[in-house]
Structure 1
């Protein structure tokens, strides 16, 4: 018999982090802990307030129900949790962790042995122009060759000036620039803004308009001079058939898989398979999990062998994250086995 419990944990940001949804100072998360025959399994259910489809009043009650019914088994629990993708992800991690020889090694590989690294983008948060400029300088100084800049919080002209300042110093062969609008553009002005951005040889733009505007997004993807990546658009689409219809209708150039938001490893695999069937490429991004969830996402990502920089550089955002072997070095995420785990809550 498996014994299951859970614990809530509040992550504190080192610096308030700006998105188009507002300023983030804390991030709550939960851990599912399984015990069987002296072994322990740990999984993080990374709820993202205001973004997760399972941001509902009875969220913690659902985790409690899962722990009380853990002996239904993973397969049956996942079916019961189709509308709680972050809990699905936490459960997948916890069961893999319980079965492994090392609670934190879910997908043994050259990555977890410290032999290979994962290229990642350097994330630049929204804020005042000078603050964003300093972040860009810091990312370049620490060896990133791919920078992702969140846009939509300050005026568009200032954001364009920032991007121009990078392009004056670095060509698209030297620095890949991605932008993430988090749905900030109005559909009526989006194409014009994409044309302006395309002159700066931007790699791609994530979610230029708000999710749920399917026909508008499809039209934008058909006319865009700049590759579009769907992000929030994937949230809350549960059935394989509806996922297929969405991608066949919109025909994006990229999709972004965030396991906490779209049903964990199995949900990510569905989306990636469908993207490839529709000639779209993809990358995987963390969604402000602690190092427990980030570790699981990184190990899973490595097994898929994507050549694109991934969005996995968020482990250093919090003052009270857990010590782990994960380390960002020279624009990559590495597993440094001389560094040990310290999971105490």
Structure 2
């Protein structure tokens, strides 16, 4: 008989982190803890306030129900929580963790054996121009060859100027630049902005306009001089038919999977399969989970053997993250299995 409980935990940002939705100072999350005999399983339900489709008033009640009914088994629970992708993901992790000989090893691989690493992008948060420039210098000094910069919150000309200054110093062969607008552009002038950005030899832009504008996004993807990656567009799309419709109607150049927002491992795989069937590229990113969720995402991502830099460098953002073997070195995520976990939540 499995016993289940959950615990809430608030992560504190080292520095206030800016997006087009506002400034982030804290991030609440929950852990599902399973116990069976002398075994333990841990999963993180990484709800993202203001972004997750399951950001609802009765979220904690749903977690209570999941724990009370844990012995229904994973398959039935996943079916019950179709509209709660972060809970689906937490349950997937917890059951895999419980079944493993090591609760922190969900997918054994060369990554978890410390024999290989995952290439990742360095994340530049929004803010004043000098603050953003400081972050860029730090990421380059840390050995990143791919940088993702959030744009759309400050003056567009200033952002262009900042990106131009990077390109003057580093060619696209030296530094891959990605930008993320988080839906900040207006459909009426988005194409004009994409043309200006394309002159800087960028890799791609994430979600230039707000999700839900299918015709406008399809039009942008058809005419864009700069590859477009769908991100928020995938949130809240549950059925295979609806996912297929998004992929085929919009026909983006890339999609980006956040397991906490799209239904965990199973949800991510369904999106990836559709993307590959339609010759669309993809990569995976974290959604500000603690190291518990980030560890699960990283181990899963490694098994997929993508050759693109992934968005998995968020573990160092918090002052009170859980001590783990995850380490970022020279633009890559490593798993140092000489380092112990410290999960005492």
| Fold match by TM threshold 0.5 | yes
1:14 is matched with which residue? 14
**Residue correspondence of structure 1 range 70-109 to structure 2 within 5 A:** 70-109=70-109
TM-score (structure 1 length as normaliser): 1.00
**Residue correspondence of structure 1 range 1-345 to structure 2 within 5 A:** 1-345=1-345
1:44 aligned counterpart, secondary structure:
strand
Where does the alignment leave 5 or more consecutive residues of structure 2 unmatched?
Answer: none
Question: Which consecutive aligned stretches of 4+ in structure 1 deviate over 3 angstroms post-superposition?
Answer: none
Aligned mates of 2:243, 2:335 — CA distance in 1:
33
1:187 aligned counterpart, secondary structure:
coil
Aligned mates of 1:100, 1:257 — CA distance in 2:
25
TM-score (structure 2 length as normaliser): 1.00
Aligned mates of 2:279, 2:186 — CA distance in 1:
27
How many residues align structurally? 345
Aligned mates of 2:31, 2:232 — CA distance in 1:
24
**Aligned-pair CA distance for 1:174:** 0.4
Aligned mates of 1:42, 1:330 — CA distance in 2:
29
Aligned mates of 1:209, 1:71 — CA distance in 2:
43
**Aligned-pair CA distance for 1:74:** 0.2
RMSD: 0.3
**Aligned-pair CA distance for 1:260:** 0.2
1:25 aligned counterpart, secondary structure:
strand
Aligned mates of 2:186, 2:344 — CA distance in 1:
45
Aligned mates of 1:69, 1:339 — CA distance in 2:
35
**Aligned-pair CA distance for 1:337:** 1.2
**Aligned-pair CA distance for 1:282:** 0.2
Aligned mates of 1:208, 1:274 — CA distance in 2:
22
Aligned mates of 1:279, 1:113 — CA distance in 2:
32
Aligned mates of 2:226, 2:262 — CA distance in 1:
25
1:307 aligned counterpart, secondary structure:
coil
Aligned mates of 2:53, 2:231 — CA distance in 1:
13
2:340 aligned counterpart, secondary structure:
coil
**Aligned-pair CA distance for 1:309:** 0.1
Deviations 1:198-227 (A, max 9, x none): 000000000000000000000000000000
1:139 aligned counterpart, secondary structure:
helix
Aligned mates of 2:246, 2:106 — CA distance in 1:
31
Aligned mates of 1:198, 1:73 — CA distance in 2:
49
Aligned mates of 1:17, 1:169 — CA distance in 2:
26
